[in-house]
Amino acid sequence: MKIGSAIYAKLKGVKLGLSHEDDVDGIVSASLFLRRFPNSVLVLAQPTEIRNSVLCWYNWFTWDFVADLPCPMKVKVYADHHKTNVPRHVESLYYDPQAPSAASLVIKALGLEGDKLSREIVRVANDADTGVYSLNESTLLNDAIKGANYQGKLYIARKMSKVGLRVLEDPLVKEWILVNRRRRERASIIAERIEVRPILIVEFEKDIDIPYRDLCLKLEKRGASELCAIIVPKGRRWRVYLGASRESRYDCSLLAAKLGGGGHKSAAGATVKDKWIIYELLKEFLSSSQIELTLVRDTRNIEVIKT
């Protein structure tokens, strides 16, 4: 589906954009691109899909626009703020690891700073990507994105490019908000049942379909402020979500980069083939020969072990 969209754009001679599919910043960045180029083709992706290899199909195309993702090999306009994403082969670069969001750079890259609608949605991206969530719209948009499937995320991006935050009034979007709200409620139940420590490592025996990044934030607020690592099986691989307070001595992005992922100091992640790689690097990262692990078998069966 995704590669087909890219081929279609090239055959039709229209602009081709690429953005992060799974968070507010990525979808807002995508909406800005669609607002600037309404007839363009948009592809959404996960950071782990884009690799430094000629076998990675994202490297086969010249992208007119890429935001909030690792940089493919041929890009005309690139905007990002992750220090783990190193720009390469870019004609026009908007890159600042100190920026609050990729969208705050995209609005400059696309010349939309004078557009009121664009400024409003960038404000939401800044609020969400810094983990503040002081705006109700940030939470609602995050829920909508997390609750939607791939086509739903494209729908949100395209409609938001036309109506801005009024997209949250759309009946379909409201349904997706409810989907993720229920998932967050399950995450809250689990968060309350986990014994919190400043350094907290949690492994799920199986994927129970909750927003793990949201769980990470809940555990940080309850006291896991130095480092929170949540490890979840995803098919034949393992996903680790990393979080820490701004005052923590640990930089999550450094650990994520060693695992082949990326992110920010306070929030990062990676996907690996073997979970023991995560544990060995955690021991090295924490300068410890043994770590305490909270194992979640299901919502009621939670135990603490050492490994």
Strand-by-strand arrangement of the 267-272 sheet: 262-263, 267-272, 237-243, 227-234, 199-204, 292-296, 302-306
CB 24 within 8 A of CB 43: no
Residues 95 and 235 in one domain: no
* pLDDT score for 196: 94
Instruction: Mark whether 257 and 302 lie in a shared domain.
Output: yes
Considering the domain boundaries, does residue 211 fall inside one? yes
> Is 24 found in the same domain as 170?
yes
Tokens representing residue 159 in the block? 């409609």
CA–CA dist 67, 85 (Å, integer): 11
Co-location of 60 and 126 in the same domain: yes
Q: Does a structural domain hold residue 205?
A: yes
Start-to-end CA distance of the chain, whole Å, equals: 42
Q: Are 149 and 45 part of one and the same domain?
A: yes
Distance CA 102, CA 31 (A): 12
pLDDT at position 86 is 78
pLDDT number for residue 306: 67
Question: Does a structural domain hold residue 182?
Answer: no
Q: How many domains, in total, are found in the chain? A: 2
Do residue 107 and residue 142 come from a single domain?
yes
Query: Do residues 122 and 107 lie in contact, with contact meaning Cβ atoms separated by under 8 Å?
Result: yes
Residue 84 lies in a domain: yes
Burial of 98: CB neighbours in 10 Å, binned 0-12, 13-18, 19+: exposed
Rounded CA-CA distance 267/168 in Å is 26
From 127, 147, 175, give the residue that closes a domain.
175
The answer to whether residues 108 and 169 belong to one domain is yes
Q: Are residues 198 and 109 in the same domain?
A: no
Domain range for 86 is: 2-175
Domain at 222, CATH number: 3.10.310.30
Residue 159 lies in a domain: yes
pTM attached to this predicted model: 0.88
pLDDT, residue 90, reads 94
Q: What is the pLDDT along the chain (307 residues), one digit of tens a residue?
A: 899 999 999 999 999 999 999 999 999 999 999 999 999 999 999 998 998 888 899 999 999 999 999 999 999 999 999 988 878 789 999 999 999 999 999 999 999 999 999 999 999 999 999 988 999 999 999 999 999 999 999 999 999 999 999 999 999 999 999 999 999 999 999 999 999 999 999 999 999 999 999 999 999 999 999 999 999 999 999 999 999 998 999 999 999 999 988 888 999 999 999 999 999 999 999 998 888 999 998 767 787 776 6
